[in-house]
Amino acid sequence: MTTQADPWASASQATQTAQAAARPADPNADPFASPDDFGGASGPRGPKLAEILNRLVIIKPIEKKLDQPIPGETDGKTQNIWVSDLTVLGDEPITVFAPAVEKNGKSYPESSETFRAPYTWNHWYAYGRGLEVKLDGVHADPNVSMLLGVVKRCPTGVGYRAGETWETIEKRWAEYRAALLAGRDIAKPQFSWGLIDATPEQRAVALAWFRGLSG
C-alpha cells in the first residue's frame, strides 16, 4: 500500500487567511468515503464540544455560513459557522445529550445517545472565533484538507494576549468546580473552545485510521 502524505493541518499551523481560496478537487484528499456507520445530514446531531473535551478529533471544513443567528440571543448578534465533517477518534464511546424541549406544541424529554468511536458526523456546525480562524486557514491551504487536534478549553483573545494557555484555563476551571462543590459562589472562568496540537503518537493514530479508510 502506498503511503499517503499527512493530510492534516495541526491546530497551530492553521491560521486566519483574508479570503479562503477554492482548491482543485483531489479524489485522494477526502478520507471520509461512505462507511455504513457514518452519520449523515439526517442522522443524529453531533456532540457539543463540552461532550468531546480532551478527545482527538478531525474537522473537515465544507462550507462557511456568515452572519448566522445565535440561538437564544435577542439582541441581533450573529456568528459565522463552518459546516464541517467531524470525526472523533479513540476507543472510548461518545455520549451525546439532547435537553428536554418544547417544539410545535409537543414536549420532548431529555434523551441521550451513545456512539462507538471512531465516529463521523457530517454537516456538523463548528463555531466560535478560535475554531473559525483555524478552519479558515485549512480551507485556504491547498496542502491540507482537515484540522487535527485535541478539544480543550482555551483562552479568549484577551487571555492569549496576556500570555494565558489552555493549561492556565484548565487550572482555573478546576478551581471553579472545586469552589462550587464546596458551596462557594465564584465567577465562572472565561474561555473559548478550541483545539491544541495532537502529539506525534496521536497523529500516528489518526493517520492509521485515515489510511485504513482509503486503503
Q: pLDDT digits over 131-166, tens only?
A: 999 999 999 998 999 999 999 999 998 988 999 999
The C-alpha atoms of residue 46 and residue 83 are separated, in whole angstroms, by: 12
The C-alpha atoms of residue 27 and residue 19 are separated, in whole angstroms, by: 24
- Per-residue pLDDT, 27: 53
CB 86 within 8 A of CB 120: yes
Q: Give the strand pairing for 146-154 and 8-10.
A: parallel
For the chain, the structural domain boundaries read 8-17+35-100+110-148+199-214, 156-190
Ranges of residues in the chain whose predicted pLDDT is under 70: 1-5, 13-44, 72, 74, 214-215
DSSP one-letter string for 103-121: ETTEEE--EEEEEPSSEEE
- Per-residue pLDDT, 70: 80
